[in-house]
Amino acid sequence: MRVLVTGGSGRLGRDVLRGLSERGHEVCCADAAPPRDADFPFLPADLADAGECYSVLAHFRPDAVVHLAAVPAPFQRSDVATFETNSRLAFNLCQAAFDLGVGTVLIASSPTVVGYGNPAGWQPSYLPLDENHPIRPWNSYSVSKAAAEQVVQGFASRGHGAFHAFRPCFVVAEDDWNGAPVQGGGTIRDRLERPESAAVSLFNYVDARDAADFAGLLVERAHTVPNGQTFFVGADDALADAPLSELLPRYTEISEEAAAGLDGSSPAFSSRKAQDLLGWRPRRSWRTELG
């Protein structure tokens, strides 16, 4: 297939471009800046502008779109700019794809939609978190991602094309394992040695290459699963060297009772749905990759 990756120059986008290409797809990219790998066809574009969004899709005529372009994390821009950018990008992309007959659209959301980190307090209904857990977004970033998921649901209900959302956990690029600064500052080793820094995301993470493998599988199987699916995409363990049953009550407001079942290396987020519907499992862990 010809697959357009928006945000292909970003931390996850680089691996998604490479991973889709290695799976035999014809890959192209739209972003504000060119991708690191110049081999991929590229158009600079502001997809928040509806006209540019239509123009990019009309230029590349993709069979599928993996939409990663966004303000990538909370508090990087103003609340208004974050919500407006992320929600508008998702809507523009889905509307243009629907109108131009693109068969498959995958929209990147975020685990933050479940609501952890709320300064007013948050307790999970259960752990590990899965796609059936209620969402309780509280800041402009998580609200924008929840809005993007609703956009996906709306277009999926129209009965034309496959529209799905996925929630990649804290993305760790290949260079990060060897000491490169991660998103938000510091290194992976810092997050292991100072659990409070990893606790803000409930110790979740995913290797960018594993997330790229997931995107490839979902592109290829988007029409074989019920339309409008949402998937968590995370590692099979937590980014921690102690059980979360101990760390979550110590470094977050999550109660000992809620965290009690997360023994050993169990993560707080379950990717079982991706395994059951798509046959995807992460292949990498900080235990095998950390330099």
pLDDT at 171: 97
- Nearest one of 180, 141, 135, 163 to 291, comparing CA atoms: 180
Delineate the domains of the chain, giving CATH numbers in brackets: 2-173+205-235+268-284 (3.40.50.720)
pLDDT at 43: 96
Q: pLDDT tens digit string along 3-22? A: 999 999 999 999 999 999 99
- Please give the backbone phi and psi of residue 148, each rounded to the nearest 5 degrees, phi first: -60, -40
Global pTM? 0.97
pLDDT at 184: 86
pLDDT-based confidence at residue 37 (cuts at 50, 70, 90):
confident
Q: pLDDT tens digit string along 55-85? A: 999 999 999 999 999 999 999 999 999 999 9
pLDDT at 182: 94
How far apart, in Å, are the Cα atoms of 276 and each of 30, 33, 100, 116, 194? 32, 36, 32, 26, 34
Per-residue H/E/C for the chain:
CEEEEECCCCCCHHHHHHHHHHCCCEEEEEECCCCCCCCCCEEECCCCCHHHHHHHHHHHCCCEEEECCCCCCCCCCCHHHHHHHHHHHHHHHHHHHHHHCCCEEEEECCHHHHCCCCCCCCCCCCCCECCCCCCCCCCHHHHHHHHHHHHHHHHHCCCCCEEEEEEECCEECHHHHHCCCCCCCCCHHHHHHCHHHHHCCCCCCEEHHHHHHHHHHHHHHCCCCCCCCEEEECCCCCCCCCCHHHHHHHHCCCCHHHHCCCCCCCCCECCHHHHHHHCCCCCCCHHHHCC
CA distance 66 to 265: 31
pLDDT at 291: 78
CA distance 66 to 52: 17
Q: Residue 165 pLDDT > 80, yes or no?
A: yes
Q: pLDDT tens digit string along 102-139? A: 999 999 999 999 999 999 999 999 999 999 999 999 99
Q: Are 70 and 8 in contact (CB under 8 A)?
A: no
pLDDT-based confidence at residue 279 (cuts at 50, 70, 90):
very high
Q: What percent of the chain has pLDDT over 90?
A: 96
- Nearest one of 264, 258, 203 to 234, comparing CA atoms: 203
